[in-house]
Amino acid sequence: MTRGVRGATTVENNKASEIIEHTRALVLEMAETNNIQPEDVSHAFISVTKDVDAAFPAKALREIDGWKYVPVMCMQEIDVPGSLPKCIRIMMVVNTDAEQKEVKHTFQREAVKLRPDLAERKGR
């Protein structure tokens, strides 16, 4: 069965190093929380708000051991007035036996505001 695992984080500055660092942390937490191995990932979509353009967040995945061959595509999030700025969102499609309600979505930093009902875990 394939399931979508959602994750989101924010950066304080539009700097390549920060984009890569926070994307990496997000992917690692998503994988750890849901017991995901790179071989389980069909593909991942990463969207960024228009104020995040100093680097491709996909680069972070390519730098994680074992994740080099996971297909990743970056795109710009729609620019909705009043939406959360400097945000990076990931939709990871994985092969899993987990039930839909068992999937643990990950929200870090300011992105906990996107889905506070799902971001209660670990005091994030």
Collapsing DSSP to helix, strand or coil, 6 comes out as: strand
Is the sign of the CA dihedral 84, 90, 93, 97 positive or negative? negative
What are the pLDDT digits (tens) for 40-63? Answer: 999 999 999 999 999 999 999 999
Q: The tokens of 17 are what?
A: 């190093």
**Residue 121 domain flag:** no
The CATH number given to whatever domain includes residue 112 is 3.30.1330.40
Does a structural domain hold residue 66?
yes
User: What is the structure's pLDDT at 118?
Assistant: 75
Residue 58's domain comprises 2-116
Could you tell me if 40 and 96 are in contact, meaning their C-beta atoms sit under 8 angstroms apart? yes
Instruction: Say if 122 falls within a structural domain.
Output: no
Q: How confident is the model at residue 124 (pLDDT cuts 50, 70, 90)?
A: very low
Q: Give the C-alpha separation, 46 to 57, whole Å.
A: 7
pLDDT score recorded for residue 78 = 94
Look at the chain and report how many structural domains it folds into: 1
The answer to whether the CB of 74 falls within 8 A of the CB of 48 is yes
